Structure 1
Amino acid sequence: MEKAGINSNQVRWARERAGLQLSDLSKALQLAEDKIAAWETGEEQPTFRQAQKLAERLRVPLPYLFLPSPPEENSPIADLRTLRNEARATFSLDFKEVLNDSLQKQNWYREYLQNTGQASPLEFIGKYSVESDVKTVARDIQAVLGLDEELRKSARSKSDFLSKLVQQAEEAGILILISGVVKNNNHRKLTVEEFRGFVLSDAVAPLVFINGNDTEAAKLFTFVHELAHLWVGASGVSNVEVKSAVENDFDQLERFCNQVAAEVLIPAEDFQSIWQSDLSLEENLQRYRHYKVSDLVLLIRARQLRRISSTEFQQAYATRISWYKNRKRSSGGNFKNTLPARNSKLLTSALIAATLEGQTLYRDAARMLNVKVETLKKVADHLEIH
C-alpha cells in the first residue's frame, strides 16, 4: 500500500501540540507505540489513510504533516491571564477551537447585519478608556443593561438574574455565548484553570464567551468583567477569579475591568449606606440579598471599602469558594434550550431566520451551530421562528 511521505518531525510537533503522549495516541489510533514512534523518527511512513486518521486525532489539517517546519500560530486575541508576573501556559487546542468557532460566528453575524442593513456601530463600544472614571463606566453599563432595582426584584434567583442580564446584553447587540464544552461535544470539557472567559470587541458584532463550567457566582462576575472590556474596546482572554478584584497583581486593563464589574453589580454608595458596623459579617451579608449577587461579590465590596479586614476576607472567602466548588451542579437541561445559550440566542435566531429565508443553506447553518440539520429544524420550532 502506498505510503504518505509525511515529515516525521511534524508528527512529533503535532502530537506535543495536542498535549498527547505516545501511549495516548497509540490508544486512540489502536496502533502499537513502536509504530507511531517510528513515524516520528522517520524509520517508517504511515499510509495515506493512517495519515488522515493521525491528522484528525491531532486536530491539524492533513497538509500540516507535509510541511518542512511547524507553521507560525499567532493568537488573534490578547492573553491577559498573567497573574503575579507569571506567564500562563500556551492555549490548549480546545481553547483554540472554541476561539476560532467564536470568530466564525462573529464574522457570520457581522456579514448578516451588513447584508440586512443593520450594521450600525454600537455607541458604547470603546466609549471609554482605562483612564476613565470607574463609576461613570459602571453607570453606562447599567443603563445599557437596564440594570435597576426593578430588574433585580424581577429575578427569581441569582442564576435568573444572570439570565436576565444576558438577555439585556443581547438585546443591546452583544453576542453572549455560555458553554462548558467544545462545539457541543460533551466529551471535551473546558477548564476554568485555563480561562474563565474572553471577549472579541467589534463595533458592530461584539462577542463575549463565558466558560460554562465555572460557578454561578464566578460566571456573573466574568460576564460583567468582559462587558467592561467592550466599553474600553479591548479584546482579550481572561482568567479572572472573583477574588482578584481585591488584588493588584493584574495589569491596568484587568484591574480596571475588575473595579467596573464590582461597581456595576453593587455600587459602592449603595453598599456603604446599607452596611451596619454594629452587625456581624453574616448579618450584614443578609442585608444585600435583593442585589442577587453572591456572597463572594459582597465580600469583595466589603474588603474594597474597608468594612472587613484582610484576614476576615480571606477566611470568609475560602469557606464560601469551597462550598461553591463542592456544590452539586444541575444537568445541562433540555438541549433545545442549551443550544441557543451555547451559541448565543441572538446569533442562533438570526442564523435560523436567514436559513428559512433562503439566505443561508441548511447544512451551513447546522455546521455553524455544530448540529445536524434535523436538530436545527427542531430548534427553529422551539424558538418559534417560522
Structure 2
Amino acid sequence: NKAEDKGIFIGKTISYHNISVKNMRGLFISNNYCPFIILNKKDAVSAQIFSLIHELAHLFRKTESISNNIDFRDSNNNISPEEVFCNKVAANLLLPASEFTESFYDKDSIEHLADKYKLSELFVFYRLKDLKKIKDQDLADIEIVLKKESEENIKKKELSKDKGGNYYNNMRDSNGALFNRVVLGTYLENKINFTEASNLLSFSVEKV
C-alpha cells in the first residue's frame, strides 16, 4: 500500500467490532508521528477505496474525521464544507473529468464505467451528474434505479452472516501491514517484550 509506505497506518474493522456502515465508513486520527486511518470492512470494496482517499484528504489538511456520511452526492446534502472538499478530492482522483470524452452517458455506460474503474454505479452516476454528462430527462429515472440497487446491496451485505474466517488473518488485516511491521520490528529490537508485542497485535507476535 503506497499510503503505508509513506508512514500512514491503515487498518480495518472486523466482525466483532459490529460497527455498521451507517455509523462509520471511515475514521482518521490526526497525528504527525503516526497518523491512523480506519476503514469499515462491512462496506463495499469500492466504497472503502473512496473512503480511503477521503480520509487521506483529511490527513493532508490536518483535520480529524469520523465519517459516517462520506457522500459523493455533496451538492445534494447538508454537510460541512470540509467534507464537501474531501469528497471532491476523492471524486476527482478516482474519476478525473478528462476521462469522460462523450457528450452524454446512459445507464449502460454507467455500468461499464463502474466495472472498468471498480467503483459503484451510484458513485459513477453522481460524478457524471456533477459534470453534467447525463441528459436532464434521464437523471431522475437512473437515480431511482441505482439508489434502490445500492440500498439493497448494503442491506444484503450487513444482514449476511459473517463466517468469521481465520482469526490471525483477520487481525493482521485489521491492524494493517505497517502496524504489524512496526510492532514486530520493535519487538525484534528488544524495545518491547513478547507479551507487550502480542497485546498490541491482539495475537502472538510469532504469527506476524
Match of 2:11 among 157, 177, 192: 177
TM-score scaled to structure 1, two decimals?
0.48
Query: Is 2:7 the partner of 1:168?
Result: no
| Contact 1:218 1:242 (C-alpha < 8 Å) held by counterparts | no
Indicate the residue corresponding to 2:54 in structure 1.
Answer: 225
Aligned residue for 1:335?
Answer: 167
For 1:213, what is the secondary structure of its paired residue?
A: coil
> Whole-Å Cα distance in 2 between the matches of residues 331 and 169 of structure 1?
29
Q: Does 1:193 align with 2:31?
A: no
- What is the CA distance between 1:199 and its match in structure 2? 0.5
What is the identity percentage for the equivalent residue pairs of Structure 1 and Structure 2?
A: 25
Asked if structure 1 preserves the Cα contact closer than 8 Å seen for 2:14 and 2:170, the reply is: no
Query: For 1:124-163, what aligned pairs fall within 5 Å after superposition?
Result: none
Give CA deviations for 1:188-207 in whole Å, capped at 9, x if unaligned.
Answer: 41122222211012223211
Aligned counterparts of 1:333 and 1:276: Cα–Cα separation in 2? 46
Structure 1 runs of 4+ with >4 Å offset = 327-332
| Contact 1:221 1:242 survives alignment (8 Å) | no
Match of 1:261? Answer: 90
Q: 2-side partners of 1:329 and 1:265: how far apart?
A: 31
Contact 1:177 1:342 in 2 (8 A): yes
- Aligned pair partner of 1:345 in 151, 170, 177: 177
| Equivalent residue, structure 2, for 1:294 | 120
Consecutive unaligned residues of structure 2, counting only runs of 5 or more, are: none
Q: Determine which of 130, 133, 154 is the counterpart of 1:304.
A: 130
Contact 2:113-2:124 at 8 Å conserved across structures: no
> Who is 1:72 aligned against?
none
Tell me the residue number matched to 2:42: 213
- What are the ranges of 5 or more consecutive residues in structure 1 without an aligned counterpart? 1-166, 381-386
Instruction: Find the residue that maps to 1:286 and give its secondary structure.
Output: helix
**How far off its partner does 1:298 sit?**
0.8
**How high is the TM-score relative to the length of structure 2?**
0.85
- Alpha carbon RMSD of aligned pairs, Å? 2.3
Distance 2:88 2:72 in 1: 12
Q: 1:349 to 1:222 in 2, by over 3 A?
A: same
Task: Give the secondary-structure state (helix, strand or coil) at the position aligned to 2:38.
Answer: strand
